[in-house]
Amino acid sequence: MVEVVVERDEDGRVLAVTLRGDGSPEARVASALVEAPALGLREYLHLQPVVHREGGTLRLQVDRSDFFLDREVDAVMETMVLGLRSLAREGAILLREVGERIRV
């Protein structure tokens, strides 16, 4: 089973995503959806998200201290969440969101 937890702050912004997988194809797809935003944040926005992998757990943490990049970071992270929701609807993963959803 693949479980993904999306953690949000009081404003609904994604702060962290934790994936616990089992090496299955579903886990690899979900892992790619979590790793891609880290690359985009680094390469495009020149930020330094924290990515930690240990065993079957992958954790992505986002620094939300740059007010001027909030909308760009939101766009990247919410696109990832939409992909994860799609996998969850198909029954491929279990997705939990902790905190409020973002208000657009």
DSSP-assigned beta bridge partners for residue 94 = 3
β-strand pairing of 94-98 with 57-61: unpaired
Side chain identity at residue 83, one-letter code: G
**Which residue in 60, 1, 66 sits closest to 27, CA to CA?**
1
Confidence of residue 102 (pLDDT cuts 50, 70, 90): low
Q: Is the pLDDT of residue 100 over 80?
A: no
Q: Is the pLDDT of residue 7 over 60?
A: yes
Side chain identity at residue 13, one-letter code: R
Say which residues have a Cβ less than 8 Å from residue 39's Cβ, sequence separation at least 6: none
What pLDDT, on the 0 to 100 scale, is given for residue 1?
Answer: 86
For 3-13+24-98, CATH number out of 3.40.630.30, 2.20.25.90, 3.30.70.1490, 3.40.50.20 equals: 3.30.70.1490
Domain map (residue ranges) of the chain:
3-13+24-98
- Is the whole model's pTM more than 0.75, yes or no? yes
Q: Is the pLDDT of residue 42 over 90?
A: yes
Q: What is the mean pLDDT of residues 21-32?
A: 94
Give the E-state strand segments of the chain in sequence order: 3-8, 14-20, 50-54, 57-61, 94-98
Q: What is the mean pLDDT of residues 14-22?
A: 96
What pLDDT, on the 0 to 100 scale, is given for residue 23?
Answer: 87
Phi, psi of 93 (to 5 degrees): -140, 165
